[in-house]
Structure 1
Amino acid sequence: MTDVVIRSAVADDLPAIVAMLADDPLGATRESPDDMTPYRTAYERLRTDPDQFLMVAERGGAVVGTLQLTFVPGLSRRGSTRSIIEGVRVAGSERGRGLGQHFIEWAIEESRRQGCSLVQLTSDATRTDAHRFYERLGFTASHVGFKLQLTTSD
């Protein structure tokens, strides 16, 4: 993967990132690449938060992967910090070529450098291929997750 550069996302990367987020059955129902306004707002919040890292993988000048790495200090586990990996996506043309593994390994190493004692992630229950991928990288399905969808009032 010497031809892959992992770097912080910049505003110009947003269309490529959103396109990857929308490029699967789940993302197709929840993303709106035709309206970049909410993504720009979210990007600004991420960009100014020192515990948020929105990253891209770039090959040949093209954005081909993305993930968000969040650092969460806490009291549990003897006051340890954990990292959370979210929004992992690899462009369709790159799948099966090792980029996903390289990207996750980068996130794990960055978490070590930041002094984290735990790396965690969630994956939709329907993404069975992703579950096998994460297990192959050493992650264990250790918890049951719950979500509560909130709606905003106009």
Structure 2
Amino acid sequence: MKDLQIRAAGADDLPAIVAMLADDPLGAQRESPDDLAPYLAAFERLAGDPHQHQTVAVRDGRVVGTLQLTVIPGLSRRGATRSVIEAVRVHRDERGSGLGTQLIEWAVEESRRLGCSLVQLTSDAQRSDAHRFYERLGFTPSHVGFKRAL
């Protein structure tokens, strides 16, 4: 893709990231782009953790995609390190352009570079289009996830 840069996010990228997080039916219910304070506090925690990689895709100086990559060392699978891809979003003007594929391929390659032997992700049960997208990229549905609000 022409003129695309995938890089670590900075605090200045937060308004664009939060706007993308809120720009779908599920995100609209749980995000608050008018109040960036909690996102800034969270970003500072992420920036201080070497296992967290908040990432943006930038085209022509504009943030057009984002994801969070978390690296998790573990004991299972013979001491394997895994990564988790979360909060993948593509700006509405870029959807269908192949940017999502590029972001996921970047995350897989970065996971490999960081010594991970497994990359996993979760997707809300309601996001059937996203499920097909991830399956096309070689991910297989393998687990049932559970959440508990605190």
In which range does the TM-score fall when normalised by the shorter chain? over 0.9
- SS of residue paired to 2:117: strand
Equivalence map 1:1-154=2 (5 Å): 1-150=1-150
- CA offsets, 1:77-128, max 9 Å, x none? 0001000000000000000000000010000000000110100000000000
* TM superposition shift of 1:3: 1.4
CA distance in 2, matches of 1:147, 1:140: 20
Give TM-score scaled by structure 2 length. 0.99
Name segments (4+ residues, structure 1) moved above 3 Å.
none
- CA offsets, 1:51-72, max 9 Å, x none? 0000000000000000000000
CA distance in 1, matches of 2:2, 2:16: 21
* Runs (5+) with no aligned partner, structure 2: none
CA distance in 2, matches of 1:149, 1:127: 20
Kindly provide the amino acid, as one letter, of the partner of residue 125 in structure 2: A
- CA offsets, 1:108-154, max 9 Å, x none? 0000001101000000000000000000000000000000011xxxx
Kindly provide the amino acid, as one letter, of the partner of residue 37 in structure 1: A
